[in-house]
Amino acid sequence: MKTFLAILFIMLFPLSALAGETIRVLLKDDQQRLEVKVDGEVICYDGQGNLMEMHLDEAMLELETIDGALHINGIPVPRPPLKIKAIAGQMGVNGIRLQSELEIRKKPGGLVQAIALLDMEEYLKGVVPAEASPKWELEVLKAQAVAARTYALYKKKSQAGGDYDVTADVNSQVYSGNGLRSPISDRAVDETAGLVLTYDGKLINAMFHGCCGGETEDVGAVFGKPVEYLKSVEGMCPPHGSKMQWEKWFSASEIQDALERKGYRIGKVRDIRVAAQSDSDRVTRLVITHSKGELSMKGNDFRKAMGWEVVPSTRFAVKKTKGGRYRFEGKGSGHGVGLCQLGAREMGLQGKNFEEILLHYYTDVKIEPYRPDM
């Protein structure tokens, strides 16, 4: 009996380690007016926890600031932020359906934002199927679940003073609410419940990306500061496929316009050359010659200014063509740091388990149950 209890305790421990752990997810920011679809029953309370007495059986809640005060369906909220809690059914914000609690905050300039307050493991069940296909092997989804859990807890610690911990989009990791949930991705979260990645006893910044294009990137080459566990390793991704290789064409004025919109002072683009590359062939510095002079910028800043999807990675070569257009030929998608999702999928197809996948991409880390002191 004692042995049985001990085994039961060990099995339950990872789950209990995260019981009650929550996360604040920014669903929608800087809105003039925000709509919350209600499919069920909700209650509202103000910033001091006082229940607001009002009828909320309407299918749509409209949030906006009028004369500087937050209003819900035209009724002022005395002490924001407003909290809306689903007690039955679901709510929908920005296409994300969820059953939890929403916090509506007033922002400067008469704008509003919506933040979901979620149970951590529930949150992860909305992240894993959005970040990795439910058609992939269970072990790959488990690796994604552990990386996503670690990333979320790491962000929660580092954003502790802010209004939210993570965003629901690619700026953090994609959260899709209940919309994409599937039995296999739920299972990946449940079977790794509470497990996180640590280095030296501390949570790691478990970055991941779509496809590295051959080798992953040392974090120092992209974001400036080297980190022991985010080093360049073999990508393991398949050699072909649309994410592996890409080609993009831009006219001089398209590049000029995009950079001007982001506040760069730039004239007519005359030439673009790669001035420096990392060991894994990613552009770390780009020099743009234009009619008013020269603009030298980091490869990552160029990608950010053009649009993360517009220039899928910094692993590219650029050529000016006879017609005066610029041809970018590249490999991979995303910043290239940490776990490569397509490479992880390939490792899964080769029969590797989630521990092997994670220990390949994150150098010298441990996989262990979460403790608050990590």
Q: Can you give the binding site for Zn ion, defined by CB under 5 A?
A: 212, 235, 237, 340, 343
Of the candidates 174, 325, 180, 194, which has an alpha carbon nearest to the alpha carbon of residue 248?
A: 325
Residue 212 CB, nearest distance to Zn ion (Å)? Answer: 3
Distance CA 327, CA 250 (A): 7
Distance of CA 267 to the CA centre of its chain: 34
Residue 213 CB, nearest distance to Zn ion (Å)? Answer: 6
Distance CA 199, CA 372 (A): 15
Residue 103 CB, nearest distance to Zn ion (Å)? Answer: 37
By C-beta, is 129 or 235 nearer to Zn ion?
A: 235
Distance CA 119, CA 172 (A): 17
Residue 207 CB, nearest distance to Zn ion (Å)? Answer: 13
By C-beta, is 149 or 209 nearer to Zn ion?
A: 209
Distance of CA 113 to the CA centre of its chain: 18
By C-beta, is 18 or 342 nearer to Zn ion?
A: 342
Residues 6+ apart with CB under 8 A from 292: 265, 266, 267
Distance of CA 247 to the CA centre of its chain: 25
* Burial class for 333, CB neighbours closer than 10 Å (0-12, 13-18, 19+): buried
Residue 200 CB, nearest distance to Zn ion (Å)? Answer: 26
The enclosing H or E element of 296 equals: strand 293-298
The residue with tokens 């290239």 is 336
Residue 216 CB, nearest distance to Zn ion (Å)? Answer: 6
Residue 45, by phi and psi: left (phi above 0), alpha (psi -120 to 50) or beta? beta
Residue 317, by phi and psi: left (phi above 0), alpha (psi -120 to 50) or beta? beta
Distances in Å between the Cα of 355 and the Cα atoms of 126, 146, 288, 338, 360 are 22, 9, 44, 14, 8
Using DSSP bridges, classify how beta strands 208-209 and 245-251 pair: parallel, antiparallel or unpaired: unpaired
By C-beta, is 82 or 212 nearer to Zn ion?
A: 212
By C-beta, is 42 or 340 nearer to Zn ion?
A: 340
Residue 138 CB, nearest distance to Zn ion (Å)? Answer: 20
Residue 237 CB, nearest distance to Zn ion (Å)? Answer: 3
By C-beta, is 72 or 212 nearer to Zn ion?
A: 212
Distance CA 86, CA 119 (A): 14
By C-beta, is 102 or 358 nearer to Zn ion?
A: 358
The enclosing H or E element of 40 equals: strand 33-45
By C-beta, is 299 or 338 nearer to Zn ion?
A: 338
Residue 361 CB, nearest distance to Zn ion (Å)? Answer: 9
By C-beta, is 173 or 280 nearer to Zn ion?
A: 280
Of the candidates 329, 358, 355, which has an alpha carbon nearest to the alpha carbon of residue 341?
A: 358
Amino acid sitting at position 102: L
Residue 357 CB, nearest distance to Zn ion (Å)? Answer: 12
By C-beta, is 93 or 233 nearer to Zn ion?
A: 233
